[in-house]
Amino acid sequence: MAVQTVHTTSASDESGTGTVDLGPAAALSCRECGERFALGPIFACESCFGPLEVAYDLPDDGPDALKKRIAEGPDNIWRYAPLLPVPADVAAHPSTNPGFTKLVRADNLARELGITGELHVKDDSGNPTHSFKDRVVAIAVEAARAFGFTTLSCSSTGNLAGAVGAAAARAGFRSCVFIPHDLEQGKVVMAAVYGGELVGIEGNYDDVNRFCSELIGDPLGEGWGFVNVNLRPYYGEGSKTLAYEICEQLGWRLPDQIVIPIASGSQLTKIDKGLRELVKLGLVEDRPYKIFGAQAEGCSPVSTAFKAGHDVVRPQKPNTIAKSLAIGNPADGPYVLDIARRTGGAVEDVNDEQVVDAIKLLARTEGIFAETAGGVTVGVTRKLIEDGRLDPALTTVVLNTGDGLKTLDAVSPTTGPTATIRPSLDAFRAAGLAS
């Protein structure tokens, strides 16, 4: 098994001893069987092959003291260091310092959607490389540092490659990132400009992934931290910061409803984990919240399973413009189904035309230009309001996880000048645009 090989060949000095300092992170535990492992660059249970996640010794100095520590922290994810698998002095490490992005009160959008309660957009396009990936990568960098890795790597179709390239450059790591060889030029430039190695793989994303798995098990990959493979348990925890920020920005209050995009499903499950931690720590009042997952119709394995009442997610071959969500076999799909059902939420999907309409709706009402994933969440919100599953009178938060500049192709065929005229007042008058 590649998994065990990684465990015993990479960073074995530290991973076996339990002396790694990742702050409140106490161990890794299996999400299926609960078995615990020392902190290390491993990602699957040795007993049952279930996914591993970080288990914590969370602070017990009471909610008021903790809120004060957080408020005194920096304006980025490191303010939540006491709740993350990072050392206490993390804010002093070189990092892209993502997070604490805007929670935008979206009254104009609310009016258009018929929402009478509070509507907020959590806008992660404000991160350093303009997607939420900066959050998860920043945490993975700290794990890589703790485990003695000197090269950061990943398989990616774009956003992640840019986030890894930028974070590695800033933090002084070598990086070597793998992408399908036929990506759009813009994404290739973003992945290459930070000066790390960028390798195009002749094949599709699945081929890239398979190749990376081979590399992890081979001496060629020794000393390499693959942020979304052997560092995945740490990496995933970065998404908890979205939950923390939303609640803090609401004045330490849980939202009633939250709409989250689903790619692997990891982000949704970690946001739920973060919300439950805040309740447990007494930072927010314990009351019900509903979690809604959003997919594009052209890659909707979780939505399909939800609607059919299944516990198992059947893989799909993706065909949608929402490429950052196009994972046909989402690893955390079953956990997403659990959470949507447990909280009384749902998983829904919208087609590509609805995605484009929703991107434009958000831009027109709030001045936020979202990537396709943001079109998916706004589009699904509209659908859920229309069929009554989302209560318009409550407090709702919708996530935008990326930037429209990265997915221009989605809107460019239908977005352009109102008119093109000669530079004269007569021509302008004839165009009928004067107020």
Which span (113-121, 124-132, 254-262, 295-303) binds a second copy, by CB under 8 A? Answer: 124-132
- HEC sequence for 361-405: HHHHHHCCCECHHHHHHHHHHHHHHHCCCCCCCCCEEEEECEEHH
Q: Does 208 bind a second copy (CB under 8 A)?
A: yes
Nearer to a second copy, 88 or 431 (CB): 431
Give the rounded distance of the alpha carbon of 14 from its chain centre. 28
Q: Are 30 and 52 in contact (CB under 8 A)?
A: yes
| Contacting residue, 251, 309, 388, 416, with a second copy by CB under 8 A | 416
| Contacting residue, 48, 58, 393, 405, with a second copy by CB under 8 A | 405
Q: Are 283 and 250 in contact (CB under 8 A)?
A: no
Q: Does 111 bind a second copy (CB under 8 A)?
A: no
Nearer to a second copy, 31 or 428 (CB): 428
d(CA 136, CA 236): 6
Q: Does 130 bind a second copy (CB under 8 A)?
A: yes
Q: Does 107 bind a second copy (CB under 8 A)?
A: yes
| Contacting residue, 210, 280, 307, 342, with a second copy by CB under 8 A | 210
Give the rounded distance of the alpha carbon of 164 from its chain centre. 14
Q: Are 73 and 91 in contact (CB under 8 A)?
A: yes
d(CA 393, CA 316): 35
Q: Does 232 bind a second copy (CB under 8 A)?
A: no
**Cα–Cα distances in Å, from 392 out to 51, 76, 113, 210, 290?**
36, 31, 9, 44, 13
The enclosing H or E element of 411 equals helix 408-411
d(CA 329, CA 51): 15
Binding to a second copy in span 131-160, by CB under 8 A: 150-151
Q: Does 222 bind a second copy (CB under 8 A)?
A: yes
Binding to a second copy in span 342-401, by CB under 8 A: 359-360, 363-369
Binding to a second copy in span 65-94, by CB under 8 A: 75, 94
Q: Does 118 bind a second copy (CB under 8 A)?
A: no
**From residue 307 to residue 346, what is the string marking binding to a second copy with x (rule CB under 8 A)?**
----------------------------------------
**From residue 176 to residue 205, what is the string marking binding to a second copy with x (rule CB under 8 A)?**
x--x-x---xx-xxx-xxxx-xxxxxxx--
Which span (52-60, 114-122, 213-221, 372-380) binds a second copy, by CB under 8 A? Answer: 213-221
Which span (12-20, 38-46, 233-241, 425-433) binds a second copy, by CB under 8 A? Answer: 425-433
Which span (6-14, 208-216, 327-335, 387-395) binds a second copy, by CB under 8 A? Answer: 208-216
The enclosing H or E element of 201 equals strand 197-201
d(CA 243, CA 68): 18
| Contacting residue, 31, 67, 93, 102, with a second copy by CB under 8 A | 102
Q: Does 97 bind a second copy (CB under 8 A)?
A: yes
| Contacting residue, 112, 207, 338, 391, with a second copy by CB under 8 A | 207
Nearer to a second copy, 272 or 371 (CB): 371
Minimum distance, C-beta of residue 3 to a second copy, in the bound complex (Å): 18
Nearer to a second copy, 288 or 435 (CB): 435
DSSP assigned state of 349: E
Q: Are 152 and 227 in contact (CB under 8 A)?
A: yes
| Beta pairing, strands 25-30 & 36-37 | antiparallel
Q: Does 430 bind a second copy (CB under 8 A)?
A: no
**Cα–Cα distances in Å, from 300 out to 58, 306, 328?**
36, 10, 8
DSSP reduced 3-state for 288: coil
User: For 338, what's the count of Cα atoms within 13 Å in the CB-facing half-sphere?
Assistant: 12
Nearer to a second copy, 57 or 182 (CB): 182
Q: Does 417 bind a second copy (CB under 8 A)?
A: yes
Q: Does 431 bind a second copy (CB under 8 A)?
A: yes
Q: Are 403 and 129 in contact (CB under 8 A)?
A: no
Nearer to a second copy, 290 or 382 (CB): 382
